[in-house]
């Protein structure tokens, strides 16, 4: 990989971090649903999973 490209990418990533826009992964500690528990005991709104509506725990789905 070209050194200029590496330097450019490092500068872009540093700018993103400085702006507070870095996405940090969270360890999910509960079954996925509309809300999930994450490491540290917090509960957060889950908008990024196939089960964000929480339908995987619906009784009709479980009975199928």
pLDDT digits (tens, 9 = 90+) for 3-15: 999 999 999 999 9
Sign of the C-alpha dihedral computed for residues 51, 40, 21 and 14 taken in this order: negative
Query: Using an 8 Å Cβ cutoff, are 23 and 48 in contact?
Result: no
Contact residues for 61 (Cβ-Cβ < 8 A; gap 6+):
55
The predicted model scores a pTM of: 0.51
pLDDT digits (tens, 9 = 90+) for 14-63: 999 999 999 888 899 998 888 899 999 999 998 887 776 777 778 998 89
Query: Using an 8 Å Cβ cutoff, are 14 and 8 in contact?
Result: no
Burial of 62 from C-beta contacts in 10 A (0-12 / 13-18 / 19+)? exposed
């Amino acid at each position: 990989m070209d050194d200029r490209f590496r330097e450019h990418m490092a500068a872009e990533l540093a700018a993103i971090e400085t702006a507070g826009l870095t996405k940090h992964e969270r360890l999910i500690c509960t079954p996925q649903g509309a809300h999930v528990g994450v490491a540290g005991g917090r509960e957060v709104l889950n908008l990024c999973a196939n089960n964000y509506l929480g339908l995987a725990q619906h009784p009709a789905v479980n009975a199928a």
